[in-house]
Amino acid sequence: MGKNSAKGYSKRWPVNKSASKVITDASGGQKNTRSFDSAWIERLLMLHHRVRDAVTEPEREGIGSLNAKGDDVKQFDLTANNAALSLFGELQVPVVIDSEESKRQIIGPSPPQHRLVLDPVDGSDNWSRGLPLSALSCAVLPVDAPLHPDWVEAALVGSLDEVLPLMALKGCGAWRGKHQVETSNLCNITAAMISVELNHHSPSPGLARLMATAKGVRSYGCASRALALVAEGATDAHVDVRGRLTAESYLAGARMVIEAGGWVAGLDGASLAAPENLTDRVSLVAASSRELCEEIVNVLSHGKD
Q: What is the pLDDT of residue 61?
A: 52
Give Cα 185 distance to the centre of its chain.
Answer: 20
Is residue 76 within 8 Å of 107, Cβ to Cβ? Answer: no
The structural domain count of the chain equals 2
**Residue 4 belongs to a domain:** no
The pLDDT tens digits of the residues spanning 97-154 come to 999 888 899 998 899 999 999 999 999 999 989 998 999 999 999 999 999 999 999 9
Secondary structure element (H or E) that encloses residue 62, with its range: strand 62-66
| Structure confidence at residue 27 as a pLDDT band (50, 70, 90) | very low
Same domain for 126 and 23, yes or no, is yes
pLDDT tens sequence across 167-179: 999 999 999 999 9
Q: Is residue 195 part of a domain?
A: yes
Based on the fold, state whether residues 27 and 118 are members of the same structural domain. Answer: yes
Q: What is the pLDDT of residue 75?
A: 86
* CA 145/CA 235 separation, integer angstroms: 30
Pair 98, 85: CB distance under 8 Å: no
CATH assignment at residue 193: 3.40.190.80
pLDDT of residue 58: 52
Greatest distance between any 2 Cα atoms in the chain: 55
Assign residue 71 the CATH number of its domain.
3.30.540.10
pLDDT at site 20: 37
Q: What are phi and psi of 4, to 5 degrees?
A: -100, 20
Residues paired with 118 in a beta bridge: 99, 138
Is residue 14 in some structural domain? Answer: yes
Same domain, 162 and 222: no
Q: How much is the average pLDDT of 223-247?
A: 97
Could you tell me if 87 and 44 lie in one domain? yes
Predicted local confidence at residue 36, as pLDDT: 52
First to last CA, the chain: 53
**Domain of residue 57, residue span:** 9-180
Q: Quick one: pLDDT band at residue 38, thresholds 50, 70, 90?
A: confident
- Look at residues 95, 54, 99 and name the one whose alpha carbon lies nearest to residue 73: 99
**Model pLDDT for residues 245-260, shown as the tens digit of each residue:** 999 999 999 999 999 9
Domain stops at, among 131, 160, 180: 180
Say yes or no: 18 and 98 in one domain. Answer: yes
108 and 245 within one domain: no
